Structure 1
Amino acid sequence: MTSETLPAADTAPAAHPVSTDAGLSAGHELARAVGIRRLVTATEELVTEGGTPAERRILRASAVAVLANPWCGTGTSEDLQPETERIAPVLAKLIADRLLDALGGADAVEAFGKAAVVGLRGEIEHAGALVHTPFFGNLVREFLEGTSIICFSDDRAEAGTSIRVPLWHKTAAATRSHYQTLDVHLADAPHPDELAVIAVASTGPRPHARIGDRTTDRAVTSEVLKGTSK
């Protein structure tokens, strides 16, 4: 696991949207500009499952950005769009870059997911504003070369929580072999006035996947219950 704790910014964040062109880098100056305090990347390698060797080497990784909640203290009628447009593209770039570095590039990634956890002074909608719009989701999907909608989880919690993040296939969401979850522990985050934004990815399916798929399913309706005891 790698953790990057960033010193506080010397100046206030810019008041305009951040471009996602070639000028968007993963440098600490960019991270500080949107209020990021910490970036954490964790990788696990699946070697055995159920006492037997995994079918193939599977790597799974999570990347987390911990940042100040820009809406903390605002009311429930606050317009979230301006800050979403300014912050979410930066988060997408920083987080996706770390997943790609950890897993060996977009070609290696087969499944992905996302999550956000808001501190106790924030709203669940603050978490959603940074992960459930095109300014985050579309960019993560582009960087990881996926086409599926990204499955997700979100929560409001105190620092030190863990969240279980679902994943599915990045181009074929109905492929059951790639339905899996990754537990992400948030050490010292989020503080009450912070958010933790998370993306996860895997280089393969669940170990020993063998429950079929929609392409091989026979038609199943409530008729299968006929003859069962009440």
Structure 2
Amino acid sequence: MNVRKIVTVVDEVLTEGGRPVEPAARVAVVAAVIENPWSGQGFVEDLAPGIDAHASDLGALLAPRVMEALGAAPEAFGKAAVVGLDGEIEHGSALIHTLKFGDHFRTAASATTLLPAVEKRGPAGVLFDIPLKHVTDATIRSHHQSFEVRLPDAPHPGEIVIALAAAAQGRPQQRLAALSTEQ
């Protein structure tokens, strides 16, 4: 796996709706910019060898970094793959939609739900939103949120951005009723 760079972003919301957020609402994202392992090969029918060679290593690289950056137990989490213009969206999906990748984060976060995800293709600097949901109950509305990310110089055409995001809480000042109130 050829990693060009790793980017870490930590965001803390201190006020929302004109009121203090206490404690501050914290979200961390760690993104690895990697060489697309299928780049330049034309259409690759069997992606399994590339998944086996890279997915677990990516999960092992990113999960501890996002946990450290968050500095708290995650309550919500998500993932993303953004493929450069010379690749296929399926290349990013292959790396993040496998337990070989996601179980590293689920284990670190003591999570039981599947990680929500976004996959897309785009040029360097493309915006993408990482969806987040609660780590043990995807129906908890307060933790349905997204975090916008942009890496000015990534992905290059033959690269993939693989990112994990974690939040230490739900949305700041959330006040929607539980889903069970509508059932």
The match for 1:72 is 39
Q: Distance in 2 between matches of 1:166 and 1:84?
A: 23
Preserved CA contact (<8 Å) 1:111 1:203:
yes
Bigger radius of gyration among the two: 1
Residue equivalent to 1:120:
85
Counterpart CA distance in 2 for 1:218 and 1:38 is: 45
Q: Per-residue deviation at 1:165? A: 0.8
User: Cα offset for 1:55?
Assistant: 4.4
How far apart are 1:210 and its partner, in Å? Answer: 1.5
* 1:86 aligned onto 2:53: yes
Distance 2:182 2:45 in 1: 49
| Higher RCO (CA-CA < 8 Å; seq separation 6+) | 2
2:10 alignment partner AA: T
Pairing of 1:18-37 with structure 2 (within 5 A): 34-37=1-4
1:55–1:207 contact (8 Å) kept in structure 2: no
Q: Distance in 1 between matches of 2:44 and 2:61?
A: 29
| Cα RMSD, aligned residues only | 1.2
**1:121-141 CA distance string (max 9 Å, x none):** 000000101101111112221
Q: How many residues align?
A: 183
- 1:114 and 1:218 map into 2 onto residues whose CA distance is 29
| Deviation at residue 56 of structure 1 after TM alignment | 2.7
Higher strand content, 1 or 2: 2
User: The residue matched to 2:99 in structure 1 has which SS?
Assistant: coil
Q: CA deviation at 1:75?
A: 3.3
Q: Is the 8 A contact 1:55 1:208 kept in 2?
A: no
CA offsets 1:158-198 (integer angstroms, 9 cap, x no match): 01112111101001110000011101111210000000001
Q: Percent identical across equivalent pairs? A: 43
Q: Quote the offset at 1:78 in angstroms.
A: 2.6
Counterparts of 1:5-154 in structure 2, within 5 Å, are 34-105=1-72, 108-154=73-119
Normalising by structure 1, we get a TM-score of 0.76
Asked if the contact 2:38–2:44 (Cα under 8 Å) also holds between the matched residues in 1, the reply is no
